[in-house]
A and B are shown apart, each in its own frame.
Chain A
Amino acid sequence: EVQLVESGGGLVQPGGSLRLSCTASGFTLSSYSMNWVRQAPGKGLEWISYMSSTTNTIFYAASLKGRFTISRDIGKNSLYLQVNSLESEDTAVYYCARGAMGAYYYHYMDVWGEGTTVTVSS
C-alpha cells in the first residue's frame, strides 16, 4: 500500500525549531517530486515547499521568509522539513504530499499523509 506517515510535530516555544519527517512506504520516495503543505487550525491549505525527484529544483512559499528547509534521506525513504525561528502563525498541521514521478513540477498531489501537528506557544 502506498502511504506517507509524518512525525516530529509537537509543542515548541516561539523562536524554536523542529524537524518534521515524512516516511514513505509502498513506493520509492526519491523517484517522485514531493511537497509540504500546512493547514492552520480552522483554515485552508497552504503550500509550503516543493522538491523535485532529482533535488535540483526546490521551491518555498515566499511567506516563509527563508526559515524552512526541505531535504530527504534516500536510505530512509524519508522527506524532511526543518522549521526554524517558529512563530505563532506557524501553528498548523503539516502534511507531506506526493507529486509527479520524476522531476516534473506541473503536477497535482496524489498521495497525502495524515499530518503532524506543530503548536507554537509559550
Chain B
Amino acid sequence: EIVLTQSPGTLSLSPGERATLSCRASQSVSSSYLAWYQQKSGQAPRLLIYGASSRATGIPDRFSGSGSGTDFTLTISRLEPEDYAVYYCQQYGDSPSYTFGQGTKLEIK
C-alpha cells in the first residue's frame, strides 16, 4: 500500500499570500494518478486537481498542482478567504487500494 505523507500539518497564512502544500508518497505513483481535494468544516470533500496537475471543472486558476513520482505539490497562488480549509492528496494508481494523505489544515494567520 502506498503511504502518502502531507506537510505541513498546519499552514498559517494571510489572505493574498501564496500557499504551498506538499504530498510525498512512499513509492512512485504510477502515471501521476494523484488528486487533491478541499474539505471545509462540516462539508464533503471537493475535487480540485486530478492527474497531478489538471484542474477539475469550475476550480479557479489560482489552484495548481505539480509533481511526479513520489513528490507532489498543491499551490494556491493568492489566498482568498474561502480557501481556508483542509486539503487532502489521494493516489489512485495502486490496485487494489486507494490511499489518502492525512491532510494539511490551511488556517488564517
In angstroms, how far is the closest chain B Cβ from the Cβ of A46?
Answer: 7
Residues of B within 8 A of A (CB): 1, 30-31, 33, 35, 37, 39, 43-47, 50-51, 56, 88, 90, 92-93, 95-103
Complex alpha-carbon distance, A97 and B98, angstroms? 13
Tell me the dominant secondary structure on chain B's binding face.
loop
- Contact indicator A45/B56 (Cβ below 8 Å): no
Q: Which of A11-19, A66-74, A80-88, A109-117 makes up part of the contact surface? A: A109-117
- Contact indicator B44/A47 (Cβ below 8 Å): no
Contact of B45 among A59, A105, A107, A112 (CB under 8 A): A112
Complex alpha-carbon distance, A45 and B100, angstroms? 6
In angstroms, how far is the closest chain A Cβ from the Cβ of B29?
Answer: 11
Top 6 nearest A-B pairs by Cβ distance? A59-B96, A108-B35, A108-B50, A47-B98, A112-B44, A45-B100
Complex alpha-carbon distance, A37 and B98, angstroms? 10
Complex alpha-carbon distance, A46 and B90, angstroms? 10
Kindly list chain A residues whose C-beta atoms are within 8 Å of the C-beta of B50. Answer: 108, 110
Kindly list chain B residues whose C-beta atoms are within 8 Å of the C-beta of A62. Answer: 1, 97
- Contact indicator B90/A106 (Cβ below 8 Å): no
- Contact indicator A45/B97 (Cβ below 8 Å): no
Complex alpha-carbon distance, A110 and B56, angstroms? 8
Contact of A106 among B46, B92, B99 (CB under 8 A): B92
> In this complex, which of A59, A109, A113 has the most chain B Cβ atoms within 10 angstroms of its Cβ?
A109
- Contact indicator A112/B46 (Cβ below 8 Å): yes
